[in-house]
Amino acid sequence: MNAYNIDIKPKKHLLDINFKEIWFYRDLLYMFIKRSIITVYKQTILGPLWFIVQPLMTTAMYILVFGRIAQLSTDGLPQILFYMSGIVIWNYFSESFTTTAHTFNQNAQIFGKVYFPRLIMPLAEILSGLIKFFIQFSLFIAIYLYFYFSGNTSIQPNWTLALVPVYIGLMALIGLAAGLIFSSLTTKYRDLNHLLTFGVQLLMYATPVIYPVSTIPEKYKIFIQANPLTPILEGFKYAFLGAGHFSWDALGYSGGFTAVLLFFGLIIFHQTERSFIDTV
C-alpha cells in the first residue's frame, strides 16, 4: 500500500514551492500561454500585427513629443532607436507586472473551482509576455540593423550584448515579483488596483526610458540610480547603441534587488493562495 500523496493541512511552511508539481502541470502552462496569445487578437482585422503597431505608434509619438517638441537629448543617437529600445524592454516589464498583478482577481472564477499550482498562472503571463516581447524586439532589431548597415557611426554595439538575455530575465523577474506582491495584496485591499495603472506610468518617468541618465543633474542622479530598473534600461541601450553607462556594480544591485523582491513575492503569494478564495 503506497503512502498518501495528497495531504491537505491548515498550516504550510512559509515557503514551500512544489517544483515537481509545477513540472507535472507544464502542459497547463503551455495551454495558458497559448490561450493568452491567441485570444487577445481573435476577431480583429490586424491580428498579431497589433503587437508591432503598438510600439511603432508609441515610438512615433515619443519622437514627436519628447524629441521634437521637448527636445530631450538622446545622447546623440538616432531618436527612433533610442526610444524604441526603451519602449520595447519597458513594455515587457510593465506587461509582466500588470498582468501578473491581476492573477488572483481575474482568475477567481477558475481558482474557486479547481486546484492547480497557482504559480502556473503568473508564469504563463511572464512567458506569453516574452513571446510578445520577442516580436517587438525583432522589429527593433530590423530597424537597428538598417541603421547599422547604412553606416550610422553613432551606434557602437559592444561585448555587453552578451548580457542582453540577463537584462530580459531581470525585467521578467522584477515584473513577476512585483506582480505577485500586488496580486496578493489586492485580494484584500482593492485600493491597490487604482494605484497600479498610474503607478506603472509614474515609474516609467522615474526610469531612464525616454531620457538618458547623462542628462540628469548630478544632485538627482542618486534617485534615478536607486531605481533597480535603471541599470537594466541603461545596460540594454548601452549594449546595442554604445551610449550611456554600464557597470557591474549597478547590475549586481539590480540582481540583488530582484532576488530579494522575488523571495518576498513568492512568500506572500504562497500565503495568499491558500485562502484567498475566502476573502476575494
Partner 1 sequence: MSQPIIKIENLSKLYRLGEVGTGTLSHDLNRWWKTKVLRREDPYTKIGSVNDRTQAAQKGEHVWALRDINLELQEGDVLGIIGKNGAGKSTLLKLLSQVTSPTTGRIRARGRMASLLEVGTGFHPEMTGRENIYMNGTIMGMRKKEITSKLDEIVEFSGIAKYLDTPVKRYSSGMTVRLGFAIAAHLEPEILVVDEVLAVGDAEFQKKAIGKMQDVSKSHGRTVLFVSHNMAAVKALCKSGMVLVNGSQRFEGNINDAIDFYQENNALVLAENNHWEFGNNAENDNIRVTSIKITPLNGTTLDISSGVQIEIDFYNKIKDITEDLTFEIVTKEDILVFHHGVVFAKDRDSKLGKHKITAVIPPDVLNANTYSMNLIFGQSQRYVLFSKERICAFEVENVAIGNNMSVMPGVVRPNITYTVNRNDQK
Candidates 26-34, 128-136, 152-160, 247-255: pick the segment binding partner 1 (CB under 8 A): 26-34
Nearer CB in complex with partner 1: 28/127: 28
The answer to whether residue 38 forms part of the interface with partner 1 (CB under 8 A) is yes
Smallest gap from Cβ 16 to partner 1, in A, equals 13
Side chain identity at 240, as an amino acid letter? Answer: F
Give the total residue count for the chain.
280
97 touches partner 1 (CB under 8 A): no
Contact (Cβ atoms closer than 8 angstroms) between residue 240 and residue 85: yes
Q: Does 45 bind partner 1 (CB under 8 A)?
A: no
> Pick from 13, 16, 20, 42: which binds partner 1 (CB under 8 A)?
42
x/- binding map, residues 162-201, to partner 1, per CB under 8 A? --------------------------xxx-----------
User: Is the sign of the CA dihedral 266, 197, 187, 107 positive or negative?
Assistant: negative
Considering the complex, state which of residue 2 and residue 71 has its C-beta at the smaller distance from partner 1: 2
Residue among 177, 159, 162, 280 nearest 228 (CA): 177
Residue whose C-alpha cell is 513571446: 131
| CB-nearer residue toward partner 1: 3 or 142 | 3
> Other CB atoms closer than 10 Å to residue 204's CB: what's the count?
19
Amino acid identity at 171: M
Q: How far apart are CA 224 and CA 205, in angstroms?
A: 10
When asked if residue 23 is in the footprint of partner 1 (CB under 8 A), the reply is no
Task: Please check whether residue 93 is in contact with residue 229, taking contact to mean a CB–CB distance below 8 angstroms.
Answer: yes
By CB under 8 A, residue 16 contacts partner 1: no
Binding residues among 241-280 for partner 1 as defined by CB under 8 A: 274-275, 277-279
Task: Please give the Cα distance from 90 to 210 (Å, whole number).
Answer: 10
Where do we find the cell 517587438? 136
Name residue 6's amino acid: I
Integer Cα distance of 157 and 160 in angstroms: 8
Of 33, 72, 110, 197, which lies in the binding site for partner 1, with binding defined by CB under 8 A? 110
Output the smallest distance, CB 110 to partner 1, in A. 5
Q: Is the dihedral of CA 268, 224, 166, 59 positive or negative?
A: positive
> For residue 181, what are the contacts with CB-CB under 8 A and spacing of at least 6?
261, 264, 265, 268, 269
For residue 127, the minimal CB distance to partner 1 (Å) is 15
Total residues in contact with partner 1, by rule CB under 8 A: 38
Q: Of 13, 20, 113, 219, which one interacts with partner 1 (CB under 8 A)?
A: 113
104 binds partner 1 (CB under 8 A): no
- Least separation in angstroms between CB 273 and partner 1: 9
The residues that touch partner 1, with contacts defined as CB under 8 A, are: 1-10, 12, 24-25, 27-28, 30-31, 34-35, 38-39, 42-43, 110-116, 188-190, 274-275, 277-279
